Amino acid sequence: VKLTDLNPKFFTLGHWASPHIFAIGLTFDCPCCRDRRLAVFFDTPIDPDNVAKTFMEPWTPTLLNHNLWKRSGDTFDTLTLTPSIDASAHGHWHGFIQNGEIR
Ligand SMILES: [Zn+2]
């Protein structure tokens, strides 16, 4: 299964109103049931225009006080996240997103 089959969406800061892309995390349909949305926060935002540097004080997602996933790739087709995403405590999927593939 590809990530793109699971209605992926990037999300941004709650009050982000700029046209610049600034994605701090990803939501997607749970691969096991496609009935729940799973969400992960990135350790490094997707920030092609470098707005974090331009408009904000040095900003780090750790301020959000969430678990963070190490991200590489900045599109749904190339995204890799580590470590695994584990929703098994809630009876849902546990696996990896690697190069846009659900594993
Ligand atoms: Zn599920």
What pLDDT was estimated at residue 55?
67
> What radius of gyration, in Å, describes the C-alpha atoms of the chain?
14
Q: How confident is the model at residue 1 (pLDDT cuts 50, 70, 90)?
A: very high
The per-residue pLDDT for 34 is 97
pTM higher than 0.75? yes
In the chain, the largest separation of any two C-alpha atoms, in whole Å, equals: 42
**pLDDT for position 37:** 97
Backbone φ and ψ for 79, nearest 5 degrees, come out as -65, 135
For residue 80, the SS3 value is strand
> What is the reported pLDDT for 59?
63
Tens digit of each residue's pLDDT (9 = 90 or more) over 35-90: 999 999 999 889 988 887 776 666 666 667 788 999 999 999 999 999 999 999 99
Distance (Å, whole) CA 20 – CA 36: 28
Quote the ligand 1 centre to 80 CA distance (angstroms).
20
Q: How far is the CA of 20 from the centre of ligand 1 (A)?
A: 32
Strand order in the sheet with 9-11: 9-11, 23-29, 37-46, 68-72, 80-86, 94-98, 101-102
User: What distance in Å separates the CA atoms of residue 85 and residue 56, rounded to the nearest whole number?
Assistant: 29
Task: Give the per-residue pLDDT at 13.
Answer: 80
Q: How far is the CA of 74 from the centre of ligand 1 (A)?
A: 25
Per-residue pLDDT tens for 6-24?
999 999 887 777 788 889 9
